[in-house]
Amino acid sequence: MCSKIERTEFKVYPFHTDFQGKLSMSVLGNHLLNCSENHAVNRGFGEMAKNGTVYRWVLSRLVIEMFEMPKNGDKFFIDTWISNVYLYFTDRNYRITDSEGKAIGYAKAVWAMIDQADRKPKDLHELHGTTIDQYIDEETECPIAKASRVKPLAEDTYTKSIDTEYSDIDLNGHVNSIKYIEHILNLFNLEHYKQMSVKRFEIAYMAESYYGDVLKLYLRDNANDTFDAEAQKDSHDDAKNTVLVRCSMKFE
C-alpha cells in the first residue's frame, strides 16, 4: 500500500511565471490537478473503464490560498491526500511547501467521478469503495477555510465576452477547468498585479461549456481587495444564461 500522501517535486520554470517572475496561478492550478491524477492513479482509483463505460474525475470546487508564491527557479513540493469520501464527492487537500519544508500555501478541492456518457456523478463507494477508503487521511491538517457560497452577480457587473477556442477545450470535450481561472484573472490589468497578488482564489464549477459557446464574464468589486466573478454561457436568445462558474478572490 502506498502512503496516504503523494508528494511531487516541482521547479518554477521561466515559461511558467507571470511578468513578475512569480509562478502563474493557472500553472499552479494545473500542477494541483495533475498531482491529484498521480495520487489517484498510483493508488488504483484513477480514471476507469468498466462494462464499456468510461469514468473520469471532474473538478467541482477548488480553493487555493498562497502565503507566498514560488518564484522563477525555486523548487517546491505539492503534497496531496484525500480527507473525505461522500456518496458522489471526495474532499482532496493540498499543501505547498518550499524547498526548506515551510508551508507556503494550501488548497482544497472537491472532485466527483462522472460517467463520460451521461456526465452525471456516480456512487464512489460502488466504483472504488475499499480501494479509496484505505487512503482517507483525516488527521493531516489543511488549515484554510472551506469554499464559501458566492452570491449571484447582477447584470450590471458584466465585463466582457469571449469566444471559446480550440485550446480551451479539454479531453472531456468541455472548457478546461483551469482556463476559467486564466480568463477570470485576465479581467484585471497589469497595474493591478503590480500592486497586489492573489492571496486566496476559490472557484465552484456549476455547469459545463463547450466549443462554440460564448463566455460572458462578470466581475464585482466587494471592496477591501476582494472580488467575485462569474462566467455564464450566453444563451444567444431570450432564455436565461447558464451560470458556469462562480468565483471569489482576495488580493493583498
Residues of this chain that interact with its own copies (CB under 8 A) are 13-21, 24, 26, 30, 33-34, 37, 47, 56, 72, 165-167, 169-171, 173, 176-178, 182, 185-186, 188-190, 193, 211-212
CA distance 98 to 105: 9
Q: Are 181 and 188 in contact (CB under 8 A)?
A: no
**With respect to its own copies, which residue has the nearer C-beta, 21 or 44?**
21
> What distance separates the 2 farthest-apart alpha carbons in the chain?
56
Q: What's the min distance (Å) between Cβ of 230 and its own copies? A: 18
**With respect to its own copies, which residue has the nearer C-beta, 183 or 220?**
183
Q: What's the min distance (Å) between Cβ of 57 and its own copies? A: 9
Q: What's the min distance (Å) between Cβ of 127 and its own copies? A: 18
CA distance 230 to 217: 6
SS3 145: coil
Picking from 8, 47, 43, the residue whose alpha carbon sits closest to that of residue 28 is 8
Q: 210 forms bridges with which residues in the sheet? A: 174
**With respect to its own copies, which residue has the nearer C-beta, 84 or 186?**
186
Q: Are 81 and 135 in contact (CB under 8 A)?
A: yes
Which residue blocks in the chain are alpha helix, DSSP H? 25-42, 124-133, 177-185, 190-195
Q: What's the min distance (Å) between Cβ of 84 and its own copies? A: 23
**With respect to its own copies, which residue has the nearer C-beta, 18 or 234?**
18
**With respect to its own copies, which residue has the nearer C-beta, 213 or 230?**
213
Q: What's the min distance (Å) between Cβ of 36 and its own copies? A: 9
Residue 82 CB contacts under 8 Å (≥ 6 apart), including other chains: 4, 39, 90, 91, 92, 93, 132, 135, 136, 137
